[in-house]
Amino acid sequence: MMVDGLTLEVERLSCDYGDRRALDAISVAFKKGLFTAIVGPNGSGKTTLLKALTRVITPLGGAIFLNGKDVVRFSRRELARLMAVVPQEASHAFAFTALEVVLMGRTPHLGRFEFESARDMEVARDAMERTNVWCFKDRPVTELSGGEKQRVIIAQALAQEPKALLLDEPTLHLDLSHQLDLMNLFKRLNYEGLTVVAVLHDLNLAAYYADVIALVKEGRLIDAGVVEETLTPLKIKEIFGADVLVDEHPATGRPHVTVLPLGVNGSGNGQSPGGAS
> For 116-138, what is each residue's pLDDT tens digit?
789 999 999 999 999 999 999 99
If asked whether residues 210 and 112 sit together in one domain, one would say yes
4 CB-side CA count, 13 A: 4
47 in any annotated domain: yes
State the pLDDT at residue 265.
61
172 in any annotated domain: yes
136 in any annotated domain: yes
- Tell me which residue of 241, 259, 165 sits closest to 204, measured CA to CA: 259
Q: What is the mean pLDDT of the chain?
A: 88
258 in any annotated domain: yes
Alpha-carbon distance 229 to 235, whole Å? Answer: 9
State the pLDDT at residue 269.
41
Dihedral angle computed from the Cα positions of residues 57, 58, 63 and 65, in that order, rounded to the nearest 10 degrees: 50
If asked whether residues 144 and 264 sit together in one domain, one would say no
State the pLDDT at residue 263.
61
If asked whether residues 72 and 40 sit together in one domain, one would say yes
- Domain containing residue 214: 8-231
SS3 22: strand
Beta bridge partners of 259: 244, 274
If asked whether residues 92 and 20 sit together in one domain, one would say yes
**Model pLDDT for residues 156-215, shown as the tens digit of each residue:** 999 999 999 999 998 887 888 888 988 999 999 999 999 999 999 999 999 999 999 999
Alpha-carbon distance 240 to 171, whole Å? Answer: 20
State the pLDDT at residue 233.
94
Phi/psi at 209 (5° precision):
-100, -25
46 in any annotated domain: yes
174 in any annotated domain: yes
pLDDT at 46 > cutoff 50: yes
State the pLDDT at residue 268.
39
Number of other CB atoms surrounding residue 79 within 10 Å: 18
Alpha-carbon distance 217 to 238, whole Å? Answer: 9
Least confident of 3-7, 149-153, 160-164, 263-267: 263-267
Q: Tell me which of 231, 253, 268 is where a domain ends.
A: 231
Local confidence band at 115 (pLDDT 50, 70, 90 cut-offs): confident
Alpha-carbon distance 120 to 159, whole Å? Answer: 8
If asked whether residues 194 and 262 sit together in one domain, one would say no
Sort strands 164-168 and 195-199 into parallel, antiparallel or unpaired.
Answer: parallel
If asked whether residues 211 and 266 sit together in one domain, one would say no
Q: Are 142 and 97 in contact (CB under 8 A)?
A: no
Alpha-carbon distance 71 to 81, whole Å? Answer: 13
Least confident of 15-19, 87-91, 258-262, 263-267: 263-267
Local confidence band at 264 (pLDDT 50, 70, 90 cut-offs): low
95 in any annotated domain: yes
Local confidence band at 93 (pLDDT 50, 70, 90 cut-offs): low
If asked whether residues 103 and 23 sit together in one domain, one would say yes
- Tell me which residue of 146, 189, 194, 188 sits closest to 169, measured CA to CA: 146
User: What's the sign of the alpha-carbon dihedral 184, 64, 236, 272?
Assistant: negative
3 in any annotated domain: no
Number of domains the chain is built from: 2
Local confidence band at 274 (pLDDT 50, 70, 90 cut-offs): very low
SS3 215: strand
State the pLDDT at residue 157.
95
Beta bridge partners of 255: 248
If asked whether residues 249 and 222 sit together in one domain, one would say no
If asked whether residues 170 and 263 sit together in one domain, one would say no
Could you tell me the pTM of the whole model? 0.88
If asked whether residues 174 and 245 sit together in one domain, one would say no
If asked whether residues 220 and 248 sit together in one domain, one would say no
Beta bridge partners of 275: 258
**Model pLDDT for residues 51-91, shown as the tens digit of each residue:** 999 888 889 999 999 999 999 999 989 999 999 999 887 66
The counts of H helices and E strands in the chain are 9, 13
Q: What is the CATH number of the domain that holds 166?
A: 3.40.50.300
Number of other CB atoms surrounding residue 192 within 10 Å: 12
Counting residues of the chain whose pLDDT is more than 90, the rounded percentage is 67
Phi/psi at 31 (5° precision):
-80, 150
Counting residues of the chain whose pLDDT is more than 70, the rounded percentage is 92
What is residue 271's DSSP assignment? P
Q: Are 8 and 64 in contact (CB under 8 A)?
A: yes
Residue type, 233: P
Dihedral angle computed from the Cα positions of residues 214, 218, 222 and 226, in that order, rounded to the nearest 10 degrees: -20
If asked whether residues 174 and 258 sit together in one domain, one would say no
